[in-house]
Amino acid sequence: MKRYFIVYSSITHATRAKNFCDRVAGCNVGLVNAPKNLPINGCAYALLARNMESVNKCKEISDKYHIKIRGVYEDDIS
């Protein structure tokens, strides 16, 4: 099973993105601290998505509302 982290630089950006994704796109994503094993510097916050459809919707929403994404990472949980 795969999960996807859409990483933002601050809790404010991540929260705004989550709220827009929930309300506008109907995505079911969670807000989490970005895992330490991701190749990012410093602390960050992420939206946790279970499928690529949600990732694509969140990316579109972030672009539309000018919320900068630091990266999108895939994690395989077995």
What is the C-alpha radius of gyration for the chain, rounded to an integer number of angstroms? 11
Q: What is the pLDDT of residues 35-73, one digit of tens each?
A: 887 777 777 899 999 999 999 999 999 999 999 999 999
pTM above 0.85, yes or no: yes
Count the neighbouring beta carbons within 10 Å of the beta carbon of residue 75. 13
Q: What is the CATH number of the domain that holds 68?
A: 3.30.70
Give the model's pLDDT for residue 78.
Answer: 65
Cα–Cα nearest to 28, from 4, 50, 45: 50
Q: What is the pLDDT of residues 1-25, one digit of tens each?
A: 899 999 999 999 999 999 999 888 7
Count the neighbouring beta carbons within 10 Å of the beta carbon of residue 4. 19
Half-sphere exposure at residue 62, Cβ-oriented, CA atoms within 13 angstroms: 25
Domain hosting 20: range is 2-76
> Looking at the 3D structure of the chain, how many domains does it have?
1
Average model confidence (pLDDT) for the chain? 89
Token duo for residue 55: 């990732």
Mean pLDDT of 20-33: 88
